[in-house]
């Protein structure tokens, strides 16, 4: 009882303080779970091309992208094994140029975080403020949400089998604050596991220290990328054609290829192989910029366990693995958060400012075994 008395105000005030941010993050997350199929259907002119003939060389496509978007510097390219997928050129102003890989036609320019579901992604990840600030806010908010969920489980935990049944059952005969509490507890009990998975897989994406903690957690050591022997200024680059040939030579069965311009004297490319365990199973290849010679290659299976766990968590969090069933589960878990926020807030406000609604005797009897109800009665 003493532990619950300590947890109850912490659970309450953490929820009241961060409730609005949690609702924003959950609703946007629910939308992003379905991003790929929705975005492809709504923007077919940018995301779907008709296969036809041989693909143009990457450097040719990059030249066309630069003509279409001359106001910023190119950062990277991305292309896919899917014959209906576009070629993407990404710029330092966080905009994508979509091109038809067969004809070179520019399909459109898309702001990564500035329109459609991209804007929703920016709101979810960093609240559409400065990313270095916003990601810390969302990361620590998610971490606090983990405490809210765990403390809610402790507060809800029934002492008897009869109380367990009552705690898992929504009492439809209740009204007012008792109804809010009944819905809050029953829904929270069912959603807790899903929400804990979302929180635990999302925190390392936002907080670097949480990502780094996965290495000692898995008993592995972070493997640093190779360091170039020399860095020339300005840095010579052999071009994307040569880099693509080198990458294909190491990983010939790639279904997704990412090649950036050189940074710190090295080209750090990665691919997703056809046999990959999930859509974020990144196999890396590091190239010497001026010659495109392979310095080092590391298949996903040879990556440190902490890094493999991180990418697995990323795929689980974003719903790109697990199929439609897992997306639906994530959607339902995310949509439970606004309901929990409302019922928790309404219960508090009714307790502080509202009047008690008399309950039928049958409703009082049904709700009596629930430990939280007893706790709140004692705390009053």
Torsion of Cα atoms, 344 then 350 then 351 then 357, to 10°:
-120
**% of the chain exceeding 90 in pLDDT:** 77
Mean pLDDT across 327-332 = 95
Task: State residue 154's pLDDT score.
Answer: 92
For residue range 159-183, list pLDDT tens digits in order. 888 888 888 888 888 888 899 999 9
CA 235 to the chain's CA centroid: 34
pTM for this structure?
0.88
DSSP 77-134: EEEESSTTPPEEEEETTSEEEEE-TTT--EEEEEETTTSHHHHHHHHHHHTTS-HHHH
Mean pLDDT across 4-29 = 95
What topology does CATH give the domain 51-111?
Answer: Thrombin, subunit H (2.40.10)
pLDDT > 90? residue 100? yes
Residues near 274 by beta carbon (within 8 Å), at least 6 away in sequence: 81, 253, 254, 255
CB 256 within 8 A of CB 271: yes
Residues forming beta bridges with residue 97, ordered by sequence position: 89, 109
The burial class, CB within 10 Å (0-12 / 13-18 / 19+), for 272 is: buried
Mean pLDDT across 214-239 = 82
pLDDT > 50? residue 369? no
Task: State residue 380's pLDDT score.
Answer: 41
- How far apart are the C-alpha atoms of 66 and 72, rounded to whole Å? 9
Task: State residue 312's pLDDT score.
Answer: 97
Tell me, what DSSP letter sits at residue 236? P
pLDDT > 60? residue 379? no
Mean pLDDT across 151-157 = 92
pLDDT > 60? residue 196? yes
Task: State residue 184's pLDDT score.
Answer: 94
- How far apart are the C-alpha atoms of 266 and 152, rounded to whole Å? 49
- CB atoms closer than 10 angstroms to residue 83: 12
Q: Tokens 């972070």 correspond to what residue? A: 222
pLDDT > 60? residue 356? no
pLDDT > 50? residue 361? no
Return the domain boundaries, the chain: 2-35+120-217+324-379, 51-111
CB 84 within 8 A of CB 51: yes
Mean pLDDT across 28-42 = 92
For residue range 285-328, list pLDDT tens digits in order. 999 999 999 999 999 999 999 999 999 999 999 999 999 999 99
Task: State residue 213's pLDDT score.
Answer: 97
């Amino acid at each position: 009882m003493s532990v619950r008395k300590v947890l109850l105000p912490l659970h309450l005030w953490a929820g009241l303080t961060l409730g609005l941010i949690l609702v924003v993050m959950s609703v946007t997350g629910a939308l992003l779970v379905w991003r790929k199929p929705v975005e492809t259907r709504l923007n077919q002119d940018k995301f779907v091309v008709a296969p036809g003939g041989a693909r143009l060389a990457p450097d040719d496509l990059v030249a066309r992208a630069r003509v279409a978007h001359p106001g910023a510097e190119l950062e990277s390219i991305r292309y896919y094994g899917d014959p209906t997928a576009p070629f993407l050129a990404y710029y330092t102003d966080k905009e994508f140029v979509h091109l038809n890989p067969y004809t070179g036609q520019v399909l459109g320019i898309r702001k990564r975080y500035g329109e459609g579901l991209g804007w929703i992604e920016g709101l979810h990840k960093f609240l559409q403020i400065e990313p270095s600030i916003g990601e810390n806010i969302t990361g620590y908010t998610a971490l606090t949400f983990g405490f809210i969920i765990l403390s809610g489980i402790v507060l809800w935990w029934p002492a008897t089998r009869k109380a367990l049944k009552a705690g898992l059952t929504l009492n439809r005969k209740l009204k007012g604050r008792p109804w809010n509490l009944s819905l809050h507890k029953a829904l929270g009990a069912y959603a807790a596991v899903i929400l804990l998975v979302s929180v635990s897989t999302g925190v390392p994406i936002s907080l670097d220290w949480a990502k780094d903690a996965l290495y000692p957690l898995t008993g592995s050591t972070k493997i640093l990328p190779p360091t170039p022997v020399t860095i020339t200024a300005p840095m010579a680059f052999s071009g994307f054609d040569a880099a693509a040939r080198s990458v294909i030579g190491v990983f010939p069965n790639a279904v997704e290829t990412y090649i950036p311009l050189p940074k710190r004297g090295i080209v750090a490319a990665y691919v997703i192989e056809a046999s990959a365990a999930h859509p974020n199973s990144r196999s890396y290849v590091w190239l010497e910029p001026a010659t495109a010679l392979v310095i080092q290659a590391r298949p996903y299976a040879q990556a440190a366990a902490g890094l493999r766990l991180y990418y697995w968590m990323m795929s689980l969090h974003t719903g790109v693995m697990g199929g439609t069933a897992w997306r639906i589960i994530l959607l339902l878990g995310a949509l439970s958060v606004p309901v929990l926020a409302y019922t928790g807030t309404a219960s508090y406000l009714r307790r502080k400012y509202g009047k008690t609604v008399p309950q039928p005797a049958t409703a009082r009897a049904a709700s009596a075994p629930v430990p939280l109800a007893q706790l709140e009665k004692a705390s009053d």
